[in-house]
A and B are shown apart, each in its own frame.
Chain A
């Protein structure tokens, strides 16, 4: 690779500030869940990225291969309280893959009743769940987004030995 500078990580050099509120320690630890294992026989996308951003979750102890094989069925994750309300989800597993995620409980706000406009077309859940084994250079995403949400899903996955 002809990279003059390569990937440079500066995790603390005065740049934490920029979104300091995002990294403020939560009153309740929410990052305890190990990173979800990829579905069998798929490569982990970020690992191919030369400058993939290390996330806190990525430093967790690697999850050993589950002893039990994932079973079909639906699994309801733990109710995870947030400052906005409780979050709970249910996953549906078919042939060892998550095929659906249903929000059992989500915080209410007035916007939830907002009308769906002409531009907003609901799509199949499988659209989002489908992972792509594409060569990724960099990932965009709010790293600290929806931790409680992810936690409930991950809890449901653990029940099914998917994670």
Chain B
């Protein structure tokens, strides 16, 4: 998964990037569901009690539980009896990376981790960041442009391999929506709700509509789209 950081501040400690990426790497080892010796794998196999895991793992599992309740079970780290907090870990790790960058003085930057975006401050020309939402088919096109200052943009898509696109209630894949993009102040909140809304299908936008400060844009398999009531106000006018 490509991770890019684009910092536009004139003076930022170069160590900021190294530290941010190093932290992402550490979280890798901790949360990998592919490493048999990771905390997550050990909890999954019942060899480690969650309360005995590393503090970061406990924090993530607590967050997962909080969001499971907040989304009426549509977001869950446990699906089909298996533990996979990946749906939240990426954005949670992005949040940590942002904190590191900002501790080193970054104020105007964009962090993009595999299509999930945190945009802080402004471009060097003083304008807001322009965050495109990728067209699901014509991958070099965008369907909307979000004008962003201190905004997180998370997109979840179907037809991926992975548990987070499964309906936690049935264990079946959710396929009635191609992708859901959620825009709001917090990347973890946006990410979790994009995942949950995707699993819900066509009614997923309701979830975000009810969430203060967040808007969503959903694309359906027939290439129609719908969005929440406040989404248009976040976007650049059509070209």
Contact = CB atoms under 8 A, between A and B. Distances in A.
B8 A144 contact: no
A138 interface: yes
Please classify how large the interface on chain A is, using the bins under 10, 10 to 19, 20 to 34, 35 or more: 35 or more
Contacts of A67: none
Contacts of A120: 202-203, 205-206, 218, 226
A1 B124 contact: yes
Q: Identify the interface centre among B8, B12, B205, B209: most chain A CB within 10 Å of its CB.
A: B8
A68 interface: no
Interface in A1-39: 1-11, 13-24, 26, 35-36, 38
Contacts of B225: 123, 127-128
Interface in B115-168: 115-117, 119, 123-124, 129-146, 153-163, 167
Q: Identify the interface centre among B137, B202, B203, B226: most chain A CB within 10 Å of its CB.
A: B137
A84 B90 contact: no
A119 B68 CA distance: 23
A115 B203 contact: yes
Contact of A140 (B3, B137, B153, B218): B153
Given A2-B10, A17-B34, A22-B160, A10 B175 contact: no
Contact of A21 (B24, B124, B161, B222): B161
B12 to A, nearest CB: 4
Nearest to B174: A111
Contacts of A87: 159
Q: Report whether over half of chain A's contact residues are helix, strand or loop; otherwise say mixed.
A: loop
B179 A109 contact: no
B75 interface: no
Given A9-B2, A17-B34, A134-B236, A4 B131 contact: no
B226 A5 contact: no
A54 B2 contact: yes
Interface of A: 1-11, 13-24, 26, 35-36, 38, 44-47, 49-51, 53-55, 57-58, 82-85, 87, 101-103, 106-112, 114-117, 119-125, 127-150, 153-154
The 3 A-B residue pairs whose C-beta atoms are closest, nearest first, are A145-B157, A141-B134, A14-B25
Interface of B: 1-12, 14, 16-17, 21, 24-29, 31-34, 84, 86, 89-90, 93, 110, 112-117, 119, 123-124, 129-146, 153-163, 167, 170, 172-176, 178-179, 181, 200-203, 205-206, 209, 218-219, 221-226, 228-229, 236, 238-239
Given A133-B239, A141-B115, 14 more contacts: A5-B5, A5-B16, A6-B6, A18-B93, A24-B161, A111-B201, A115-B202, A115-B203, A119-B229, A130-B143, A140-B116, A140-B133, A141-B179, A145-B160
